[in-house]
Structure 1
Amino acid sequence: MTTRWGIAATGGMAAAFSEDLAHVPGAEIAFVGSRSPESAADFAGRFGAGASGTYADLLAAGRDGEVDVIYVATPHPQHHDLALAAIEGGTPLLVEKAFTATLAGAQEVVDAARAAQVFCMEAMWTRFQPAVVHARELVAGGAIGDLLLVQADFCAQRDYDPTSRLFDLALGGGAVLDLGVYPVSLAQHFLGRPDQVTVTGTTYPNGADRSAAIQMSYADGRAASLTTSLAAQTPGRATLVGTEGSLELVPPFYHPTRLVLHRNGEQPEELERLQTGRGYAHQAIEVQDCLAAGRTESAVMPLADTLDVQWVLEESLRQLGIEMAEARVDLDA
């Protein structure tokens, strides 16, 4: 069965995802939407899409049954308007992370999707990497005993430029939403929603977050220690610590191909699980499988998890003195 994808946006993330759709059985790019029809047409030509136009044109294609699912890869604050419009038209969605710029915006999208019974999933590709899937199986099977701690870092060096999207709060810039979403989602995936979040960090002259150390604490004593920054590069390592050993996601943890299992008193065991393409194909396969089965949420990346992650992100930004806002998107042109 063919799944006809619509792509909302034409930037680097949209291009990486579209490249990997070539590895997904039955996937085809049917429509590309952008603020700029010229940009959409160029992108469509590069990836063999059947049609292109504005965001309004893409949403219309969804309403008219010409597109089966829309992948939203715009800046974070623009996800909210596009997602709500697609849901109103009955079109399933895969929405890039961070899911929205605010917790209230995420809740509104989730409520709308559930009320309309329209499939919606956050595009947290890390959860679908074969190595991460195997890590989940190992932890569930008791390979490291009871899970106690999660440690993860995702920091990248980017020269400060207040005109760049990465540092523009109006476009969802800053370390927490762009990079911190990865370690937070990993910790939530394995530990669940924390009872308390404690954050320290630094900001740039324009107020955007430069670095954050995020401590997720649980009433039973479990914890996650997470770091993120745009100031300097780190290995991107994640370690799950249990009562009987530990499990390392060999860097970069957000799309690993190797795990190292350390059982107490035994030699480390290295495990390899390769990804398909660049790794984005796995989440697309999940979407197509859910649509084929008539599901409105993914069991691996359910909307409840998205809301838990969004709560941690917003609380982290609040403690850094940062308030985000959703952006309005012109959906009439």
Structure 2
Amino acid sequence: MSGRKIKWGIMGPGNISHKFASDLVQSENAELVAVASRTEGKADAFASEFNIARAYNSYDEFVQDNEIEIVYIGTLHPQHKECVLHCLNAGKAVLCEKPFTMNAEEAEELIQVARENNTFLMEAMWTRYLPAVIQARKWIAEGKIGEINMLTANFGFNVGWAPESRLLDKKLGGGAMLDAGIYPISFASMIFGKQPTNIKSSAHIGQTGVDERFSAIFEYEDGKTAILNSSVRLTLSNDAYIYGSDGYIHMPNFLAGEAAYLHGSGSEMEEFKDDRKVNGYLFEAEEAMNCLREGRIESSIMPLDETYDIMNTMDTLRKQWGLEYE
């Protein structure tokens, strides 16, 4: 894809922002012009690494940079709301890293401000734009596996015992669901196109007060089900299976989205492999830039109403576990 170059700023130069920037600098459609961090020296180091013209130690100064058209927010989860509001109120389009916010109430507020300001806003659920995921959705749309009745999706890893890490620190928004579990939850939302009517779940709350792992069964009004597992203290297979009335689709390590296998009823297996040279964050950036060029304030692939609905589902899960953040 090609078109007018879109000028980007990055707020929060952490690990996820490094991955995003590594992809973005390979796009002929994008220019990374500014970065901001409240931690002294981090913005300067990031700017030097990616040859960015301006580094800011103040978010106030950053959002006043007239050259920035869209901001990628890669800060810690609890800071998302504040950062998004800062950008939207300055007239900047926003691509905000998942989880979009800490809860549905915060998400609703951000969506309302974006729509009132007529400003682009999108959750950075990068996996939706991966070629293998797009291929799987195409097979489903073509009826290759019939009516979808069930899916399973896992995403989990073992961070080890690191109570002060952001993954286990409650004050930093730690826990399996916000960091890892959101992927299978969003995957189920994408495949079924709606949220469950009933949820059965179980979580292990660790010593730091966050969910270290959880399992959930999503039940839908038409008898369909999704079985989801996630963890930050347990290594999982990380595969996804989509089961239809006429076959199934297997996506090994579905988060990476490097392959998809179609097992149709009575037909030979069909294989799709992605040989991309980028991490995969570039695809969501291209979607955001296309929206800006076309004057759209949200993406049809990751619409804001769905982002809000997913946050509501996650609130329901946390309520079942008795897990509350400050």
TM-score range, shorter chain: over 0.9
Rounded Cα–Cα distance in structure 2 between residues aligned with 1:14 and 1:91: 18
* Aligned residue pair count: 321
* AA of the residue aligned to 1:219: E
* 1:38 aligns with one of 41, 48, 54: 41
Moved more, 302-311 or 265-274: 265-274
| Residue aligned with 1:277, SS | coil
Rounded Cα–Cα distance in structure 2 between residues aligned with 1:23 and 1:261: 31
Rounded Cα–Cα distance in structure 2 between residues aligned with 1:177 and 1:218: 22
The Cα shift of 1:70 comes to 0.3
CA contact (8 A) 1:121 1:301 kept: yes
| Residue aligned with 1:312, SS | helix
Structure 2 counterpart of 1:203: 205
- Alignment of 1:310 with 2:314, yes or no, is no
How do residues 23-62 of structure 1 correspond to structure 2 at under 5 angstroms? 23-53=26-56, 54-61=58-65
CA contact (8 A) 2:213 2:234 kept: no
The Cα shift of 1:214 comes to 1.4
- RMSD (Å), alpha carbons: 1.1
Gaps of 5+ in 2: none
Rounded Cα–Cα distance in structure 1 between residues aligned with 2:296 and 2:38: 31
Structure 2 counterpart of 1:16: 19
Rounded Cα–Cα distance in structure 2 between residues aligned with 1:6 and 1:324: 29
Structure 2 counterpart of 1:183: 184
Indicate the structure whose relative CO is greater, using CA pairs within 8 Å and at least 6 residues apart: 1
Structure 1 counterpart of 2:196: 194
* 1:244 aligns with one of 243, 246, 266: 246
Structure 1 counterpart of 2:123: 122
The Cα shift of 1:136 comes to 0.8
* AA of the residue aligned to 1:212: F
Gaps of 5+ in 1: 326-333
TM-score (norm 2): 0.96
CA contact (8 A) 1:154 1:234 kept: yes
| Residue aligned with 1:93, SS | strand
* AA of the residue aligned to 1:22: V
Rounded Cα–Cα distance in structure 2 between residues aligned with 1:158 and 1:37: 27
Structure 1 counterpart of 2:236: 234
Structure 2 counterpart of 1:147: 148
Rounded Cα–Cα distance in structure 1 between residues aligned with 2:81 and 2:39: 19
Rounded Cα–Cα distance in structure 2 between residues aligned with 1:224 and 1:286: 28
* AA of the residue aligned to 1:210: E
* AA of the residue aligned to 1:67: I
| Cα displacement string for residues 215-240 of structure 1 (whole angstroms, at most 9, x for unaligned residues) | 11111101110000112211210011
CA contact (8 A) 1:129 1:275 kept: no
| Cα displacement string for residues 108-154 of structure 1 (whole angstroms, at most 9, x for unaligned residues) | 11111111110000000100001101111111111100111110000
Rounded Cα–Cα distance in structure 1 between residues aligned with 2:213 and 2:231: 4
Runs (4+) of structure 1 exceeding 6 A deviation are none
The Cα shift of 1:303 comes to 0.5
Rounded Cα–Cα distance in structure 1 between residues aligned with 2:265 and 2:219: 25
| Residue aligned with 1:165, SS | coil
| Cα displacement string for residues 32-91 of structure 1 (whole angstroms, at most 9, x for unaligned residues) | 001124211111111111101122221121xxx210100000011100011012111111
CA contact (8 A) 1:113 1:120 kept: yes
| Cα displacement string for residues 236-278 of structure 1 (whole angstroms, at most 9, x for unaligned residues) | 100110111101112x201212111011123322222333411
* AA of the residue aligned to 1:90: G
Structure 2 counterpart of 1:219: 221
